[in-house]
Amino acid sequence: MSGSSHSPILPASPAGPAASGLNAPATTSTVRREWALILGAALAAAALSTFFFAPRFIVWRAFGVPGPLGANIEIFRSPWFLHQVEQPFEPIENLSNVVIQWRMLFPLLAHYLHLPRPVLLALPWIGCIVALVVVARILWTHSRDTRLVWLGTLLVATCSWYLVGTGWVLYFDGWLMAAMLLATFGQARWQLLLAALLAPWIDERFVLTLPLLVTVRWVFLAAREPQGWREITRDVAFLAVGLVPYLGIRGWAWTAGVLQPSKGFFEGFFTNSMGFNSPIWVTLLGAWHGLRAAWLLVLALPVLVWRTQGPFRSWALGLMLFFSLVVLLGLAGDISRSASVVVPALLAAVIMIWTGWRGRWVRPAITGICAANLLIPTMHVVTSNPVSLIPVYYLYAELGQLKQPPDQFNPKWWNALGQQAQQAQKMQDAFNSFSTAVGLDSGYAEGFISRGVLLFNEGVRIQPKDAAASTQQKAMALEDFGRAIQADPHNPNGWLNRGIARREMGDAAGSAADLKSALNAADEAVAATPKGLEPLIARSQLRQAVGDPVGAAADLEKVLELAPADWPNRSPIEQALAELKKTRPPSR
């Protein structure tokens, strides 16, 4: 390192900077073993992090569901992103999502390559794996220590960028992290150029973080190469050239007023959506949950730089870390997520401390920090009113919620809520609740039946009262009954309601076919559980609806025969049977 009496703590590459870094040469005999280690460490870190910090799968059920459920942070951006895929150059006016207006790389790829939705949804996960592969490759290249590769990759995977990239739908933090790491550690200059060309179109935070990345690179390079100043100057030039297209297009669009937010946007943004407006405890809490115990290594890095490179670089690194965090956390609403901008500094700290800080305690300490990051609970911290603190749980806990969903994600609960609203004559609320139920589970037949009945009988009370609207709502009701039948063809209620609807709309043949299918389904249910009371009661109600009081009464008599003497519903069934006997024709 020129201009300093301190010695580098990492060995310089014998072949010079062009042969080091991510593209360090490997012999044919070792290349497979090295890549097996790198891929194994990346996949193992991904698996362990996902086990300890699983996505909230239950929230994914609300993907595309209108209303408050769609406002969950994990999914609220996805509809806007999908719209951007369809119309990449249409302005986004939503206050919380206008930030993705110029994050065009993946929307344009999906738009012009016609990527199917499953591929698009998988891209953030692929990006996280790619980033972990880059991490493992950097660790191996600069340490040749298998243990460090495993530990360091796992430590990076426990930070918030990975939790967001795997848990929040259509957030591409993994790809952003891969680009940031290439800009910091990549020694082949095409890697720097590629990162600067593409990363701003993934997330503009790359541009805001670039001064920190360059500073970490400068410090890291000084620990490896005596010619650090010359190398960093050339690297900065390549990064600057890569940014020219993005900055040029954004500058032109700003002056031309192309794809710019409305005049009132910035006032609303600075008032409602920024960390600067949050209490200091929210910012500190979010920063903590971004890295947790790994902050110890980040804070130790300037100390190590002071000891090995002198105070100038130490102060430069410390101030850049501080100001980068102030800017990024201040501009962000998702504070814990934004704290991951210091992950490149964390990775540099892991390598430099592991390989250069002498002391028996160093390696056990890093191992302990890695273990602590797996065991310390974490959460997503998001500025909102009130502040959102979203805990992140183990994988088995999240899978358990899929089996027993909480009320707000349970379609049966929303269906019951809709029926309560309907009884209270709140038809619009009932419609919204039924729509939420089928949005959460597209195979929930009872939800489609409830909404179909509401639309057919009360539709004119939801929409303007005119003949065209009424006809349209009845057609929508028939469609809902059809979807109920498709979801559960053995449920007689779907066939019954469509049969009644078709009869009232003048389709006698279709009605007769549906009512016959309804009876067949009811007969199948009774045959499947001969001593079951519910199938018999359901068939009795169906027979009564199609004008068969004799059959309906016979089913109720069978219910009373099978039911225990102290059955609480015996009295209502006896009353219903008595009413049926009054209406059925006398026997001859």
In a domain, 291, yes or no: yes
The angle that helices 570-583 and 533-545 make with each other, rounded to 10 degrees, is 30
Our count of domains for the chain comes to 1
Q: What tens-digit pLDDT sequence spans the chain (588 residues)?
A: 334 434 444 444 433 333 344 444 556 778 889 999 999 999 999 999 999 999 999 999 998 887 788 888 899 899 999 999 999 999 887 877 888 999 999 999 999 999 999 999 999 999 999 999 999 999 999 999 999 999 999 999 999 999 999 999 999 999 999 999 999 999 899 999 999 999 999 999 999 999 999 999 999 988 776 656 778 889 999 999 999 999 999 999 988 888 777 665 555 555 555 556 788 899 999 999 999 999 999 999 999 999 998 999 999 999 999 999 999 998 888 999 999 999 999 999 999 999 988 778 889 999 999 999 999 999 999 987 778 899 999 999 999 999 999 999 999 999 999 999 999 999 999 999 999 999 999 999 999 999 999 998 876 566 665 666 677 888 899 999 999 999 999 989 899 899 989 988 889 899 899 989 999 988 898 898 888 888 888 888 888 878 888 888 898 989 898 989 888 888 888 888 888 887 755 544
Instruction: Name the residue range of residue 257's domain.
Output: 17-395
Cα–Cα distance between 489 and 494 in angstroms, integer? 8
Q: Smallest Cα–Cα separation from 195: which of 246, 156, 153, 254?
A: 246
Helix (H) or strand (E) holding 422: helix 411-423
In a domain, 43, yes or no: yes
Query: Is-contact 255 206, C-beta < 8 A?
Result: no
Query: Is-contact 341 212, C-beta < 8 A?
Result: yes
In a domain, 511, yes or no: no
**Maximum distance among all Cα pairs of the chain, rounded to whole angstroms:** 117
Q: Which residues neighbour 227 within 8 Å (Cβ) at sequence distance 6 or greater?
A: 2, 17
Q: What is the pLDDT of residues 395-416, one digit of tens each?
A: 999 999 999 999 999 999 999 9
Burial class (CB in 10 A: 0-12, 13-18, 19+), 364: exposed
What does the DSSP assignment read for 262-304? Answer: -TTHHHHHHHHS-GGGS-HHHHHHHHHHHHGGGHHHHHHHHHH
State the CB neighbour count (10 A cutoff) for residue 582. 8
In a domain, 81, yes or no: yes
Could you tell me which residues are beta bridge partners of residue 388? Answer: 382
For the chain, helix (H) and strand (E) counts, in that order, are: 28, 2
Cα–Cα distance between 427 and 430 in angstroms, integer? 5
In a domain, 420, yes or no: no
Q: Smallest Cα–Cα separation from 456: which of 499, 491, 489?
A: 499
Query: Is-contact 379 392, C-beta < 8 A?
Result: yes
Across 332-489, the runs of DSSP E, i.e. the strands, are 378-382, 388-392
Q: What is the pLDDT of residues 496-539, one digit of tens each?
A: 899 989 988 889 899 899 989 999 988 898 898 888 888 888 88
The 10 Å CB-count burial string (b at 16+, else e) for 535-574 is bbbbbbbbbbebebbebbbbbbbbbeeebeeeeeeeeebe
In a domain, 93, yes or no: yes
Q: Smallest Cα–Cα separation from 370: which of 254, 279, 292?
A: 292
Cis peptide preceding 386, ω within 30 of 0: yes
In a domain, 109, yes or no: yes
3-state class (DSSP) for residue 379: strand
